[in-house]
A and B are shown apart, each in its own frame.
Chain A
């Protein structure tokens, strides 16, 4: 390490606030991107499961009697 102490590392010779602001922004945006992308994945899967359930119910109810679908 080129710094003598942890304090010196954090202070960065007076440039600490600038450097740490940048690295914090980088971390926040990267984590945000990943989180958002996986949230989209969950939404797409949930949406298509819902669609499948609706179609199954329709398929089950139309050819047979309508009362059957109320039971399930």
Chain B
């Protein structure tokens, strides 16, 4: 059925996606590493020290990117969950499965780097305030999605259960985002806002922006790689995957 919905059906085709991912992966990885290295080296060695915190603030160049991407990944998972429930698109479920461990790893890193940064800055590794607690809940949501997905063996019911959990859990995201405004907290407010220029000086926020973009690209690359693996597994009985695997072997 040709028409305006054709691209949508194509997007749902695992085989089509596999080829697209193959084509974009080298470019994604290359630009991700370039931006990450540039942002981190700039941040560590060339950005000026903070007038209050000294050098400890240099943790921001991995803390903010991991926290930022960890939250966006969850939002993407919720959107993919809705797509799974409404259109039964297989690729959306493949996405959720493949990125949940990446999201969990980034959330862990955000919590860990935040704790280590907290020690010299606040005098404590951990405080039970709104931002930190809601971020910990995000980690548990990721764990829940991974566990739920592997606990149900039937592919369709597993996909539906995971999609529902991803959707329900998304209420936590605005709580994380606005926790620094709604409650008294030790955590500093958002570094980047849509409406205002950053309060930081440019040679602090520019390297931060580079590492955020770099981590986004890195996430996209790794998500593509993991989705390809999931497709190879799910479509292992199809002719095109059989041929592909035979070719890889040879």
Contact = CB atoms under 8 A, between A and B. Distances in A.
A58 to B, nearest CB: 14
B127 interface: no
A19 interface: yes
A2 B47 contact: yes
Q: Chain A at the B interface: mostly helix, strand, loop or mixed?
A: helix
A28 B45 CA distance: 21
A15 B54 contact: yes
Interface string B74-87: 00000000000000
A32 to B, nearest CB: 8
Contacts of B40: 23
Contact of A25 (B49, B109, B229, B236): B109
B58 A49 contact: no
Contacts of B112: 22, 25
Contacts of B248: 45
B23 interface: no
B165 to A, nearest CB: 22
B161 interface: no
The majority secondary structure among interface residues of chain B is helix
Contacts of B241: 48
B45 A26 contact: no
Given A19-B59, A33-B102, A48-B241, A13 B49 contact: yes
A16 B248 CA distance: 45
Contacts of B101: 33
Q: How large is the interface on A (under 10, 10 to 19, 20 to 34, 35 or more residues)?
A: 20 to 34
B59 A1 contact: no
Contact of B245 (A9, A14, A33, A49): A49
Nearest to A27: B62
A19 B49 contact: no
B58 A44 contact: no
B225 A23 contact: no
28 contacts: A12-B55, A14-B55, A15-B55, A15-B58, A15-B120, A16-B55, A18-B56, A18-B116, A19-B58, A22-B62, A22-B112, A22-B116, A26-B62, A26-B66, A26-B109, A29-B105, A29-B108, A29-B109, A37-B229, A38-B225, A40-B229, A41-B225, A41-B232, A45-B248, A47-B236, A49-B249, A52-B245, A52-B246
